[in-house]
Amino acid sequence: MLDIKKIRYNPDEVEKLLKKRNPDLSIGSILELDTERRKKLVESETMKSEQNNVSKQVPAMKKEGRDVSDILKEMKNLADRIRVIDNDIKIIDLRIEEELLKIPNLPNPEIAIGSTDADNREVRRWGNIRKFDFEPKAHWDIGTGLNILDFERAVKITGPRFSMFKGAGARLERSLISYMLDKHTIDHGFTEIAPPFMVNKDSMTGTGQLPKFEDDMFKLNSKDYYLIPTAEVPVTNIFRDEVLDETRLPLYMTAYTPCFRAEAGSAGRDTRGLIRNHQFDKVEMVMYSTPEDSYSQLEILTGFAEEILKELNLPYRVVELCTGDLGFSSAKTYDLEVWMPSYNRYVEISSCSNFEGFQARRANIRYRRSDNKKVEYIHTLNGSGLAVGRTFAAILENYQEEDGIVTIPEVLRPYMKGMEKITFI
């Protein structure tokens, strides 16, 4: 959520940055409501001041034997008018909050202006793209050929865009999760979290999924709970409505969870395989930071995700998202895209974002500075470390052999009980 004070005192700057995202975005209605609110607030405070002054005079007037009935009647009318105005202010406050919840975060002024992913800026590439001496297969064909993926029965059990891992495939999926968690906790200093997979409306609102993206969520109407679209939601909300000491920052947390997304509006996109499913596994990294350190922490966060890809020896590139491709809550995002031979292009496998104080203001997550004890909103960051299903798919495609066998990356072999290759069973 944007700071209403920033909108009030720097409207031109806010409007200019928002229009870099989308020319149709405007804060005009919020400014009008804020002006109306302040006008009514002055009116209410003036009446309350008058009410207080008269209230102080009434006892003395009674003591002098003066008739105060007209004054009391006037004060009652004044009190009634104050109640009406104060109620109007509460209604305006709710309308302002509703409008603020719809407005995306301000983009970092330094990122490129653009409207689609075609305007994103490539930052770097790593790894050598393998040159096959045979026609490489897509991961869905490799997986079904090895009998480690079963899409048909997953569809029978649930429906389209669900997957089922079998045998060595299930073990590989589990090994990837364990490897990623070990990497982040042992090497990178994260605290592992095992959060709930369902959250309430306040949690979804806190991280920015609601109200804008409700159609993308799976909701349990009987409980008014939502299945999480990413571990970012429960983990970021751990300290909602709390104040942390600055000495605890930066705070690193990581979690494995299944993720659930309705994928509304994505019909026809990546419908085969593991790239865009309604349920998928992911290991998430969440950081809390002071405002002055959050952008250096974003570089660290992105580096942690890159380290996973490097150890798996999967070619990838890093792109900085332009204003038009930026997520709703993000001020700046790096996407990591892994090379997929069947697509003959790079495919997103992680997004690493700095939300600055946007989520913290919605979720009321603050910290107390050590020097002056001032309480401020914290900066939140998160990144996929990594999307497990997409990593699984990238391994199948990049490590495939002509006979359909898949070599297991060396770093995963201890988790696979020494298995070096996946063969048909």
* Mean pLDDT for the chain overall: 95
- Going by pLDDT thresholds of 50, 70 and 90, the confidence category of residue 183 is very high
pLDDT at 140: 97
pLDDT over threshold 60, residue 220? yes
Residues in the chain: 425
Among the listed residues 273, 282, 419, the one whose alpha carbon sits nearest the alpha carbon of residue 351? 282
pLDDT at 22: 95
| Span 233-288, pLDDT tens digits | 999 999 999 999 999 999 999 999 999 999 755 555 567 899 999 999 999 999 99
| Span 274-325, pLDDT tens digits | 999 999 999 999 999 999 999 999 999 999 999 999 999 999 999 999 999 9
Residue 130, by phi and psi: left (phi above 0), alpha (psi -120 to 50) or beta? beta
> 145: Cβ–Cβ under 8 A, 6 or more apart, which residues?
137, 404, 424
Q: Which two tokens stand for residue 230?
A: 């990413």
Q: Is 157 exposed, middle or buried (0-12, 13-18, 19+ CB in 10 A)?
A: exposed
Half-sphere exposure of 334 (CA within 13 A, CB side): 25
> 12: Cβ–Cβ under 8 A, 6 or more apart, which residues?
none
Least confident of 30-34, 191-195, 222-226, 228-232: 222-226
pLDDT at 62: 80
| Span 118-151, pLDDT tens digits | 999 999 999 999 999 999 999 999 999 999 999 9
> 334: Cβ–Cβ under 8 A, 6 or more apart, which residues?
123, 298, 302, 318, 319, 320, 321, 351, 352, 353
Among the listed residues 274, 356, 349, 259, the one whose alpha carbon sits nearest the alpha carbon of residue 305? 349
| Span 324-352, pLDDT tens digits | 999 999 999 999 999 999 999 999 999 99
Alpha carbon distance 384, 316 (integer Å): 14
pLDDT over threshold 70, residue 389? yes
| Span 395-404, pLDDT tens digits | 999 999 999 9
Residue whose entry in the numeric block shows the structure tokens 């997986």: 143
Alpha carbon distance 219, 203 (integer Å): 13
pLDDT over threshold 90, residue 384? yes
Alpha carbon distance 266, 421 (integer Å): 35
pLDDT at 266: 56
pLDDT at 57: 87
pTM greater than 0.85: yes
Q: Which two tokens stand for residue 203?
A: 């949690």
What is the rounded (10 degree) CA torsion for 156, 158, 162, 163? -60
Cβ atoms 208, 356 nearer than 8 A: no
pLDDT over threshold 90, residue 69? no
pLDDT at 60: 81
Strands 251-260 and 121-126: unpaired
- Going by pLDDT thresholds of 50, 70 and 90, the confidence category of residue 422 is very high
Q: Is 325 exposed, middle or buried (0-12, 13-18, 19+ CB in 10 A)?
A: buried
Alpha carbon distance 127, 310 (integer Å): 8
